[in-house]
Amino acid sequence: MKFSLNVDHVATLRNARGENQPDPITYALMAEQSGVDGIVVHLREDRRHVSDRDLRLLRELITTKLDLEMAAEKSIIHIACETQPELATLVPEKRQELTTEGGLNVLDNLEKIKTTIHELHEANIPVSLFIESDINQIDASLDVGADFIEIHTGKYANAPTEEDMLEELEKIKTAAKHAKRIGLGVNAGHGLNYINIKEFINVEEIDEVSIGQAVIARSVFVGVEQAVKEMIYLINQKK
Ligand code: PXP
């Protein structure tokens, strides 16, 4: 299982003071040195964390791969085509939300998503759709031409009891198996941390996890290198 690091919240912290530090580019480069397989950023329409400049600099400087999370909106699609990330992950975006709260509803937005995927494919950018672990959404993702899905792990991460958590994990396993069977690549993320990753890594079909908040938070206490290496260690403990 690979591990891509989302550095959005390094930018959130920088933006809190409107100054230059902490710099998400430096953070991303340090994380690469510590072994992450890729860097993820979400260029939101309101630019609340990374900026266009951050994206340009990341594109120039990182040596692993860039996963650009984005809404299916014209101006952002244009930036994505120019930036040429190794992967574009389409996510729903509401201005009021604290973070990306739910998965994309592919079934209700077939044409819009299909057109967006087509435009990104024309620019040779593979596309992933951030969806819930729902078989119908997975089938719709294949129908609209997605290459990957990213399973939203928020319900697993925020489950109130262990029983609920294991139930969510079963749903994720079933969804991941189905997606793999029909030929989609499978990523996963949202709310994964140093505790809940331990069960999660046994979902065989997941190619890559995308983690941000937990690793950035831990790095405040132990530094970037150790926070990244601890997560890599846990991911590699697969039974
Ligand atoms: N994947 C997607 C599509 C996301 O929107 C986010 C949150 O920015 C993440 C993964 C990472 O979530 P977290 O910061 O909770 O690890």
pLDDT category of residue 88 using cuts at 50, 70 and 90:
very high
pLDDT at site 134: 95
pLDDT category of residue 52 using cuts at 50, 70 and 90:
very high
Q: Is the CB of 6 under 6 A from ligand 1?
A: yes
Annotated catalytic residue 69: yes
pLDDT at site 231: 98
Annotated catalytic residue 190: yes
Q: Which of 2, 6, 152 to mutate to test the pocket of ligand 1 (most atoms within 8 A of CB)?
A: 6
Q: Which of 150, 152, 190, 205 is catalytic?
A: 190
SS in 3 state form for 16-45?
Answer: HHCCCCCCHHHHHHHHHHCCCCEEEEECCC
Interval 40-56 mean pLDDT: 95
Annotated catalytic residue 45: no
pLDDT category of residue 93 using cuts at 50, 70 and 90:
confident
| Fold observed for domain 69-235 | TIM Barrel (3.20.20)
Residue pair 116/74 in contact (Cβ under 8 Å)? The answer is no
Q: Which amino acid is at 47?
A: R
Residue pair 200/211 in contact (Cβ under 8 Å)? The answer is no
Q: What is the pTM of this model?
A: 0.96
Q: Which amino acid is at 95?
A: R
Q: Which of 67, 187, 210, 218 to mutate to test the pocket of ligand 1 (most atoms within 8 A of CB)?
A: 210
CA dist 10 and 196 (Å) reads: 22
Closest residue by CA, ligand 1 atom 1: 189
Residue 219 CB neighbour total at 10 angstroms: 22
Ligand 1 atom closest to the Cα of residue 9 is: 14
Q: Is the CB of 152 under 6 A from ligand 1?
A: no
Q: Is the CB of 210 under 6 A from ligand 1?
A: yes
Residue pair 42/9 in contact (Cβ under 8 Å)? The answer is no
One DSSP character per residue, 48-115 reads SSS-HHHHHHHHHH-SS-EEEEE-S-HHHHHHHHHH--SEEEE----TT-SS--S---SGGGHHHHHH
Each domain of the chain, given as residue ranges in start order, spans: 69-235
143, β-bridge pairs: none
pLDDT at site 96: 53
Report strand pairing: 127-131 vs 2-6. Answer: unpaired
CA dist 25 and 17 (Å) reads: 17
In this predicted structure, the answer to whether residue 156 has a pLDDT above a threshold of 60 is yes
In this predicted structure, the answer to whether residue 97 has a pLDDT above a threshold of 70 is no
CA distances (Å), 76 to each of 38, 46, 63, 81, 184, in order? 21, 11, 23, 9, 24
In this predicted structure, the answer to whether residue 75 has a pLDDT above a threshold of 90 is yes
Report pLDDT digits (tens) over 1-20: 999 999 999 999 999 998 99
**Six token digits for residue 187:** 């990523």
Residue in the block written with tokens 């990753």:
197
Report pLDDT digits (tens) over 161-214: 999 999 999 999 999 999 999 999 999 999 999 999 999 999 999 999 999 999
